[in-house]
Amino acid sequence: MENVCITEVALRDGSHAIRHQFTVEQVATIVKALDEANVPFIEVAHGDGLGGSTLQYGLSLTNEFELIEAAVANAKNAKIAVLLLPGIGLEKDLKQAAQLGVKMARIATHVTEADISPAYISLAKELGMETVGFLMMSHMAPTAKLVEQAKLMESYGADTVYVVDSAGALLPHEVKEKIRALKNTLSINIGFHGHNNLSLAMANTLAAIEEGATRVDGSIRCLGAGAGNTQTEVLVAVLDKLGIQTGIDVYKMMDIAEELVAPILQKPQEITRDSLVLGYAGVYSSFLLHARKAAEMFNIDSRDILLELGKRHIVGGQEDMIVDVAAELAKKKDVTIG
């Protein structure tokens, strides 16, 4: 079995969990430690990628380019990666990231919307970046559609295409089917990004690797949206037991998780009733805090909001719908009570 390359996403995906409150000092300290642990790629950005610091998605405490600059300065060997969702992040943002020394661009679209990515994938290649096509909410498309969209990203010049389980809704056999189909169709690297909302992130990541994925994501101490991602330090240990090489120092990763990342968490990352509903309903993991806020605003159950969002197939970029759905549910509740 091939060696596996891990991208650490806690300093991007984990931004959702702490309401985008990372400081320059935190990023610098964690990146330096991850670099010393020999982590090859470290993603740093707002949770919704470059340009995500807005009222709709959540304002960052610190300008993301200051965080990126600190990350690059403290990574001697690791390469810094960024996420960009076309329309949220702009070409100028990608250019600025490249000027700061970012080496990987992950261009993310909804699983059926790869056709909005070619300009950004092309620009990233021109800027000398390794380029990843990131097909989000992959559970929402049949495998044939996923393959079609992945082939588009490959044709645009992506070096890798990821199956992204943004909701943590996929089951291991579904991951296997999707990764196998991509492996049999594409000539580039295949990756997998999971969320732990159904307690399946590790199982799904291992299923992806079994079917030929050589790029996978993890978040140290599960610091990611919803119930977090595949826990990096655990993943490194498991892969080591399987004889799969990552090159990452498992002891150092354990220490980073315990001493540097755990103190940042407002509470331990665990599968709560809300994050469980994310996976159960197939809802974007970053909706968790937005739904809780709307539930408090309208005095309703956040689970009802998340289930309704799932029924309506609401996806990332439609965060404004969360309050609308909550208002509608509150009105129905009042009518029923009345």
* Residue 272 included in any domain: no
- pLDDT of res. 296: 93
13 known member of a binding site: yes
- 80 & 150 share domain: yes
Backbone φ and ψ for 48, nearest 5 degrees, come out as -95, 20
How does strand 79-84 pair with strand 189-193? unpaired
- pLDDT of res. 338: 40
148-119-96 Cα angle (round to 5): 130
187 known member of a binding site: no
Backbone φ and ψ for 317, nearest 5 degrees, come out as 105, -10
- pLDDT of res. 76: 97
Q: What are the angstrom distances between the C-alpha of 227 and each of 44, 184, 263? A: 19, 31, 17
pLDDT tens for the chain, 338 residues long, are 679 999 999 999 999 999 999 999 999 999 999 999 999 999 999 999 999 998 888 899 999 999 999 999 999 999 999 999 999 999 999 999 999 999 999 999 999 999 999 999 999 999 999 999 999 999 999 999 999 999 999 999 999 999 999 999 999 999 999 999 999 999 999 999 999 999 999 999 999 999 999 999 999 999 999 999 999 999 999 999 999 999 999 999 999 999 999 999 988 899 999 999 999 999 988 888 889 999 999 999 999 999 999 999 888 778 888 999 999 999 887 745 44
* Residue 274 included in any domain: no
- 217 & 325 share domain: no
- 230 & 326 share domain: no
Q: What is the pLDDT of residues 269-298, one digit of tens each?
A: 999 999 999 999 999 888 888 899 999 999
Residue of 16, 46, 139, 290 with catalytic role: 16
- pLDDT of res. 1: 60
How is residue 29 written in tokens? 């300290």
156 known member of a binding site: no
* Residue 279 included in any domain: no
117 known member of a binding site: no
* Residue 277 included in any domain: no
155 known member of a binding site: no
46 lies in which domain range?
5-264
- 298 & 226 share domain: no
- 293 & 189 share domain: no
* Residue 43 included in any domain: yes
* Residue 94 included in any domain: yes
- 15 & 162 share domain: yes
- 131 & 250 share domain: yes
Q: What is the CATH number of the domain that holds 309?
A: 1.10.8.60
- 143 & 199 share domain: yes
Q: What is the pLDDT of residues 231-249, one digit of tens each?
A: 999 999 999 999 999 999 9
- 144 & 232 share domain: yes
How far apart are alpha carbons 243 and 83 in whole angstroms? 30
193 known member of a binding site: yes
Q: What is the CATH number of the domain that holds 100?
A: 3.20.20.70
- pLDDT of res. 336: 58
For this structure, is 313 an active site residue?
A: no
pTM: 0.93
- 231 & 329 share domain: no
- 12 & 124 share domain: yes
* Residue 98 included in any domain: yes
Query: What are the beta bridge partners of residue 216?
Result: 6, 192
- 248 & 317 share domain: no
How is residue 289 written in tokens? 């805090």
Question: Which residue reads 């100028």 in tokens?
Answer: 92
* Residue 173 included in any domain: yes
Number of domains in the chain: 2
